[in-house]
Structures are given as C-alpha cells and as structure tokens.
C-alpha cells in the first residue's frame, strides 16, 4: 500500500496525533523503544549552503517497525521546492510484513509541531504563574504555520502572535494569513511569553538578552551538531528540557557548542510531572531534534485510520 501526501493529509489530525506523540515520548524515555542514532550522509550536491543531506531513521516500538528516509536540501527554497522530503516504510513487528509505504513530508511537518504542543502542555502549567498570552515566532516557513495550528489545540488562550523573518515580506505574508498576527522586529518577537525558533539559520538568531525573565522557548530548528539558533546567553541562562536527552546531546549544536546542560527529559516529565522541579524564575528551553519513533507513531496512526 502506498499512501500519498494527500491521503496522509486527509486522515492525520492534531487531535489524535498530539496524544500519540505524547505516549511515544513517554515510551522512549521508559526504554520501550529500540531506536539507534540516525545515520546522515552528505549529498555533496553543492559546495555552499545548498549542500543537502540524506538521513535514515529506524525504530521498533509496540506492534510495528519502521524507517524514515528524509532529505534536507536548503537550496530547494529558491527552486520552489520543499526543503524537507521524506518516505516512511511501516512493517509488522510480529511477522516483518510490509504494511505501508507513505509520503513522510507532511508527517515530519506535523509530528515536529505536535512535539512542541506536547512540550507546551507539559511545561506551561509548571512554569507560568498565569496563562501565557503572547507568541513570538522566529521563522515564517512550514514549521511556523504548523506550530500555530498545533499549539492552538493545547493553548486556546494564545493571543497576539509576533512574527519575525529575515525576509520581512515573508513575515508579513504569514501574518496576513493568520488571525491576531503581525510582523515584528526580532527583539519584539523574542520578548513574547512563548517563543518558537523555527529557522534554517546556521548561526544564532535568538539572543538571551531579548528573552523575558520566564519565557518558554520551543527550539525546533538548527538540527545538527554544528548549527545553532540560540546564543550562549540564551542557552546558559535557561533551564534546558530535551525532547530526548540522548538525541539532543548528540545532535543539537545549540547544546553542544554552548556547553549548556540538559536538565530534564520531556518523556520523564510527562510520566511524572511532580518528579521534576521546573523553575518559574528563569527561561525554559524545550529543544527537539526529531526522532524516528515520532515518525513511526504518526505513520502507524495514518495506516490505522485508513484501515477503518
């Protein structure tokens, strides 16, 4: 069975995906997932920023196994193509039979935003004295749009959205498409209650000096040991929560290059919220790099939905 992106879109919804991702993160932290480190190969298609990569991400969990192959070509944006493309293969754990092959681009988009929604739902009640209202977004691409949609499922009180992009016209376009939104300077977007960093930048764009005293930062860009979105001030002054400690400490340049310490694992917080003391008087950074188990959980949800 091949499942196209159009078919994925017809059945994959955040209402079901967010709880599925929440359970996947709990299972990973509890050791119930077999997930080796992703393997990344450089495409060597260019000698500059357009150089892409190809990654292989397998996992075994529950009643299924699967692998996502994903490409990242930053030069595709100028060609009018998606920078991320992916395929997910889903197999039966009991027999090894292939169950489905499906387009993974939308799965990658939605599961990334769903992880942030899970992180917000877990961390915000423990961190804020009052419900946060303002949302700052650094970036104006696919993940900016996906996060607005996903977070609204767990943050109905979301108020003003401030959008910054290196290209002002892109920030304005997204603001025009989204209610309660406006393009903003980077200092203003970074000073919101909740800040999303979802850029393709290879150097820091979010400065700790811009953050509110108790901001919550959802950092989802800059996946790679040599890439960064957040400066040393932001990283070292904040309490860092990892989507999964082993993955973030291996693959996040924000963590590795700043020397910041991961203080908590999101899956552990989800399983036992009272076991971790989340500070209320300093910023929190929730850093995610993406994991195979998230893709497999989403793919299983798609496959199951199409069986009905």
What is the CATH number that goes with domain 112-290? Answer: 3.40.50.720
Q: Could you tell me which of 124, 72, 111 has the C-alpha nearest to residue 286?
A: 124
2-107+293-307 maps to which CATH number? 3.30.1780.10
State residue 15's pLDDT score.
98
pLDDT at 201: 84
pTM metric for this prediction: 0.96
* Residue extents of the structural domains in the chain: 2-107+293-307, 112-290
Burial class (CB in 10 A: 0-12, 13-18, 19+), 247: buried
Question: Which helix (H) or strand (E) is 265 found in, with range?
Answer: strand 262-265
Report the distance separating Cα 286 and Cα 265, nearest Å: 9
Per-residue pLDDT for 308 more than 80?
no
- pLDDT tens digits, 100-152: 999 999 999 999 999 999 999 999 999 999 999 999 999 999 999 999 999 99
pLDDT digits (tens, 9 = 90+) for 57-111: 999 999 999 999 999 898 898 888 988 899 999 999 999 999 999 999 999 999 9
Distances (CA, A) of 190 to 61, 229, 256: 37, 12, 22
Q: What is the pLDDT of residue 265?
A: 95
- The reported pLDDT for the residue numbered 51 is 87
Q: For 239-285, what is each residue's pLDDT tens digit?
A: 999 999 999 999 999 999 999 999 999 999 999 998 899 999 999 99
């Amino acid at each position: 069975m091949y499942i196209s992106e159009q078919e994925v879109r017809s059945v994959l919804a955040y209402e079901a995906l967010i709880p599925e991702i929440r359970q996947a993160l709990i299972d990973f932290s509890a050791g119930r997932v077999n997930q080796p480190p992703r393997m990344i190969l450089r495409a060597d298609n260019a000698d500059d920023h357009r150089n892409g990569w190809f990654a292989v991400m397998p996992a075994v969990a529950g009643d299924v196994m699967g692998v996502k192959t994903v490409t990242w070509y930053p030069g595709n944006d100028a060609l009018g193509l998606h920078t991320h493309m992916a395929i997910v293969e889903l197999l039966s754990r009991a027999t090894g039979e292939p169950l489905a092959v499906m387009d993974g681009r939308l799965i990658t988009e939605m599961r990334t935003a769903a992880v942030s929604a899970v992180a917000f739902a877990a961390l915000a009640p423990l961190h804020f004295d009052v419900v946060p209202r303002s949302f700052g977004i650094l970036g104006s691409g696919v993940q900016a749009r996906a996060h607005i949609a996903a977070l609204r499922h767990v943050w109905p009180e979301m108020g003003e959205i401030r959008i910054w992009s290196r290209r002002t016209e892109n920030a304005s376009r997204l603001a025009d498409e989204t209610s309660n939104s406006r393009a903003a300077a980077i200092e203003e977007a970074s000073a919101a209650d909740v800040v999303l960093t979802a850029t393709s930048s290879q150097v820091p764009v979010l400065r700790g000096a811009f953050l509110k005293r108790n901001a919550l930062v959802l950092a989802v860009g800059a996946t790679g040991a040599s890439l960064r979105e957040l400066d040393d001030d932001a990283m070292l002054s904040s309490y860092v929560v990892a989507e999964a400690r082993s993955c973030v400490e291996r693959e996040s340049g924000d963590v590795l290059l700043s020397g910041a310490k991961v203080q908590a694992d999101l899956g552990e917080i989800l399983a036992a919220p009272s076991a971790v003391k989340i500070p209320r008087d300093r910023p929190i950074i929730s850093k995610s790099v993406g994991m195979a188990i998230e893709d497999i959980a989403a793919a299983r949800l798609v496959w199951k939905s199409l069986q009905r």
